[in-house]
Each structure stands twice: as C-alpha cells, then as structure tokens.
Chain A
Amino acid sequence: GAVVSQHPSWVICKSGTSVKIECRSLDFQATTMFWYRQFPKQSLMLMATSNEGSKATYEQGVEKDKFLINHASLTLSTLTVTSAHPEDSSFYICSANPGFTGELFFGEGSRLTVL
C-alpha cells in the first residue's frame, strides 16, 4: 500500500511552546490530507481536512488558531500546535488518499505530551 510518513513520532514540550508535526506522502501525491486526534482507548476524531494550496477545513469545535495546518506541497502537510497546553496532549495522526481509489492511508502517528 501507499506510504505516509509522520515526524516526530513522539514529542515532549513545555506549556506555552509551539510544536510542528510533519506528514509526508512518500510514494504518491496527495492533494488532500486529513488530520486526526485520538485519545486513549477511543476512536479517531477528525480535526481538519488539509488541501494543497488552500486553507484547511476545520471540523466543528476545532480551534483553527490553535491547530495551524499548512499543505504547502502535494507531498507535505504540517500541523502546528500553538501555545500548547497539557490538555493538547494527545496522539495526532495524519492520513492521505492517493486519489485514484477510495483508500486512505495513515501515518504512524505523533504522540504529543505537554508538560
């Protein structure tokens, strides 16, 4: 299957700092990528849809100024958690669709811990 790479896989930061998470499609171009958040023992919650070259579409209840998404190229989307607080600690996962099928492939996820 298609490969989606996410970096970093684990990050610890101090409260008030910003953290950037990268999502790359390694063997295909993705005009659309999706960002999810997952709490322990719960399913994935869609945060936003990232569109190459345009603004991201955020789900209801997700603060767009807190979670900045940039999709600068067909293979890279970034999620920046700004002024992070302990309640932002979570598992963040990106996904992408190669476009020629309905399948969606996920990255390995990034675990954020805010102290």
Chain B
Amino acid sequence: QKEVEQDPGPLSVPEGAIVSLNCTYSNSAFQYFMWYRQYSRKGPELLMYTYSSGNKEDGRFTAQVDKSSKYISLFIRDSQPSDSATYLCAMRPRGTPLVFGKGTRLSVIA
C-alpha cells in the first residue's frame, strides 16, 4: 500500500460545478497537509495548508482533514476554466520531506 493514494483522474466538470478531490493516507505520523495546484510546465503552487482535523476555507477552496479516517479532501466551489490543472495532495510528519499523491488532472469545461 502506498503512503498516499490519490485518484489520477482525469476529472472533467462543467463550469460552476463543485469539485471534490480526495486523498487517503496510511501513515498516522503525518501532521501537515497541503494541496497544490500545478499548471502544465510550472512549479506547484500552494493552495491550502492545514495541520489539524476539520475544515479550512479560503475563498472558493475548502480543505478538509479527517485524521481518524486518514482522509483529506479539497473542495472547489463555482469552478472556473482557469481551475483546470493538476491538483496534488501532499503531507508529511514533522521535520521530514513531503510525500505527494500522484495528482488529479482536472478540466473545467466552459
């Protein structure tokens, strides 16, 4: 079993839809959880960062962490074509490098 599992998609949704992206993990030592957005030929851009169970909201984005189930989610409301990108979940214990999911390719169709 890989440490972080993420469905690679691709995921295609109409403009304005709510997008749900998910990752599961097996290492209970993970403390920090991040979601990155990566456009083609660009470095990953940090979207959301959290270190506790529960929800964190930033504009159209909501990150959700459930440590008891080892499950994290990213919700995108009112999705736009500009949201089309690959979304990577990442997590790590304290003081160690990030472990990434494989990334989910999202297309938002106008």
How far apart are the CA atoms of A77 and B51 in the complex, in Å? 27
- Chain B, residues 1-40, CB within 8 Å of chain A (1/0): the string is 0000000000000000000000000000001101010000
Judge if B109 is at the interface, Cβ distance under 8 Å.
no
Q: Is the pair A103, B44 in contact by a Cβ cutoff of 8 Å?
A: no
Q: Is the pair B46, A44 in contact by a Cβ cutoff of 8 Å?
A: no
How far apart are the CA atoms of A4 and B43 in the complex, in Å? 10
Q: Range of interface residues on chain B? A: 20 to 34
Judge if A42 is at the interface, Cβ distance under 8 Å.
yes
How far apart are the CA atoms of A44 and B36 in the complex, in Å? 12
Our pick among A101, A104, A107 for the contact of B98 (Cβ within 8 Å) is A104
| Residues of B contacting A93 in the complex (Cβ-Cβ under 8 angstroms) | 43-44
| Residues of B contacting A49 in the complex (Cβ-Cβ under 8 angstroms) | 97
Given known contacts A102-B31, A106-B44, A108-B42, is B97 in contact with A46 (CB within 8 Å)? yes
Number of inter-chain CB pairs below 8 Å? 50
| Residues of A contacting B94 in the complex (Cβ-Cβ under 8 angstroms) | 102
Most chain B CB atoms below 10 A, which of A43, A49, A91, A93: A43
Q: In the complex, how many residues of chain A place their beta carbon closer than 8 angstroms to a beta carbon of chain B?
A: 23
Q: A-contacting residues of B (Cβ < 8 Å)?
A: 31-32, 34, 36, 41-46, 49, 51, 88, 90, 92, 94, 97-98, 100-103, 105
Assuming A42-B102, A46-B98, A93-B43, what are 20 further A-B pairs, CB within 8 angstroms?
Answer: A4-B43, A6-B43, A34-B97, A34-B98, A43-B100, A44-B44, A46-B97, A91-B41, A93-B44, A95-B98, A102-B49, A102-B51, A103-B46, A104-B34, A104-B46, A104-B98, A106-B43, A107-B43, A109-B41, A111-B41
In the A-B complex, list the 6 residue pairs whose CB atoms are closest, starting with the nearest. Answer: A102-B32, A106-B43, A109-B43, A108-B43, A106-B44, A103-B49
